[in-house]
Structure 1
Amino acid sequence: MQRVLPHAMMLLAVVAACTAHATEDVVAKIRRQSQEFSDASASGDTATLARYLDDRVVFINEGGDIATRQDIITPGPAGPKAVSNRLVQSDFHIELHGKVAVTSFTDNATVQLGDQAMRPRFRSTEVWLDEGDAWRMISSQTVALSDDPPSVVLAPEALDEYVGTYRAAPGFTVTIARQGNQLVSATNGAAPTPLLAEARDVLFTPGQARARRIFERDGHGKVTGFSSRREGHGFEFRKVG
């Protein structure tokens, strides 16, 4: 025998189904608008950017610059015709808080220059507000994701030039050694980690793409120390052994 739900329970079920459907519609709408905003950013479609931006948007781009709505929708100089740019989102996630939607995602760029291509990635969070007539972006923040640069192979005798102990301050030393055709680095006697060369006198640790070690030489070409840099700032290490 089929069970008949009381009227109140049926009404609640209908309301819940409608709410879930409305939530799905909002999620689909925000996801579509967010991708369209990325597309417009890549192509310079200022009309689409203007349509989706709130007048008081707080916008921080991947370079750390704070831009106003007017900054974003003002057309810039035309780029070279040989360059194309495409942004495809992945890892999209959204949280709804009433009339506010908070998203996070990765923009995967493909920048084509002739037969060359580069593929930088950017991670963003956006905040959208239901303003009655439309959902508009009220905040955005983006960071560039760093990848290890290509490495070059240095001759064994070139690697030997970096071997030694370097000191930045009492009790803070870095030791560089050669293991076969590989340089390794250890700080204050910790476990050694690999060092690769981006270019002569520019070394990096795999997985730490934001950091570089820039080596210095004296007038005779002998390595005297290095600058450990990150985001353009760093500490100086002098070779002591």
Structure 2
Amino acid sequence: MLRAKDQALLDAIAPGNVKVWDDALAPDAVYVDENGAILDRATFLKQLTSLPAGASGTIAIASYQAVQHGDVATVIHTDNETENYHGQMLKARYLTTETWQKYGSDWKLRQVHVYAILQDPPAILLNAKELDEYVGTYTAGDLKQTVRRDGDHLVSTRVGRPDVVWSAEVRDVFFISGQPRIRKIFQRDATGKIIGFVDRRESWDLVWKKAR
């Protein structure tokens, strides 16, 4: 029953069907969206509008877990979104956690937290000459790591850790498969020479300087 309610809520997002959500939300419900914004019931319902002209889409539940604790149920579900945006197909995945509470004979949604599941970007291939520019030893305080080329990709080595493959997203920007929050962004001086890189996790940087 809760899964059916949740799918109906997801179906109501694209057309901006406020009534479906208004009927399901508890009076003091809180909605945390995929961008981290914390919305009270009224604010969430106010911003729930239909997709603009040229855009259409669906969100389908992919997996669903619900555990009941008396008159409260906790739910975790993953959702797959497909959007047709002016003729181009876009996809996204979400992890949603919820708290439902029974009011009389019905269940109301008290809290929702939606998390956009990050995925690795597509990799590009750089030629050997381009990759060789990044090869060297880098330091960050008392930390040290070496970067070498291995065929069509880079490999980094740090003492006491396994080697790690770096794949190119664009020129000067690399990522590690399975770590989509982090980018390795190389820095150059005015002549174009590599002088270091930053480990960027969201907006926070750990700076590595090229030693040789």
- TM bucket, shorter chain: over 0.9
Distance 1:88 1:97 in 2: 26
Q: CA RMSD in A?
A: 1.5
TM-superposed CA distance for 1:114, in Å, is: 3.4
TM-superposed CA distance for 1:165, in Å, is: 1.0
Match of 2:27 in 1: 55
What SS does the aligned partner of 1:42 have? coil
What SS does the aligned partner of 2:14 have? helix
Judging changes above 3 Å, is the alpha-carbon distance between structure 1 residues 76 and 57 closer, same or farther for their aligned structure 2 residues? closer
- Deviation per CA, 1:115-154: give whole Å up to 9, x if none: 3212110101111111115211001112111111011111
Judging changes above 3 Å, is the alpha-carbon distance between structure 1 residues 129 and 77 closer, same or farther for their aligned structure 2 residues? closer
Higher helix share: 1
Higher strand share: 2
Check conservation: 2:15, 2:50, Cα contact below 8 A: no
Distance 2:127 2:59 in 1: 40
TM-score normalised over the length of structure 1:
0.83
TM-superposed CA distance for 1:77, in Å, is: 6.3
Match of 1:215 in 2: 186
Distance 1:189 1:158 in 2: 28
What SS does the aligned partner of 2:169 have? strand
TM-superposed CA distance for 1:188, in Å, is: 3.0
Larger Rg: 1
State the AA in 1 paired with 2:179: Q
Distance 2:104 2:139 in 1: 61
What SS does the aligned partner of 1:41 have? coil
- Deviation per CA, 1:157-206: give whole Å up to 9, x if none: 00001101111111x12211011222111233522111111101111011
Match of 1:114 in 2: 86
TM-superposed CA distance for 1:99, in Å, is: 1.1
Alignment gaps of 5+ in structure 2? none
What SS does the aligned partner of 1:48 have? helix
Determine whether 1:125 maps to 2:69. Answer: no
What SS does the aligned partner of 2:13 have? helix
Determine whether 1:203 maps to 2:171. Answer: no
Check conservation: 2:76, 2:96, Cα contact below 8 A: yes
Question: Would you say how many aligned residue pairs link Structure 1 and Structure 2?
Answer: 212
Alignment gaps of 5+ in structure 1? 1-28
Mapping 1:46-195, distance limit 5 Å: 46-75=18-47, 79-170=51-142, 172-188=143-159, 190-195=161-166
| Stretches (4+) displaced over 6 A | none
Judging changes above 3 Å, is the alpha-carbon distance between structure 1 residues 30 and 78 closer, same or farther for their aligned structure 2 residues? closer
TM-superposed CA distance for 1:54, in Å, is: 1.0
Distance 1:70 1:162 in 2: 52
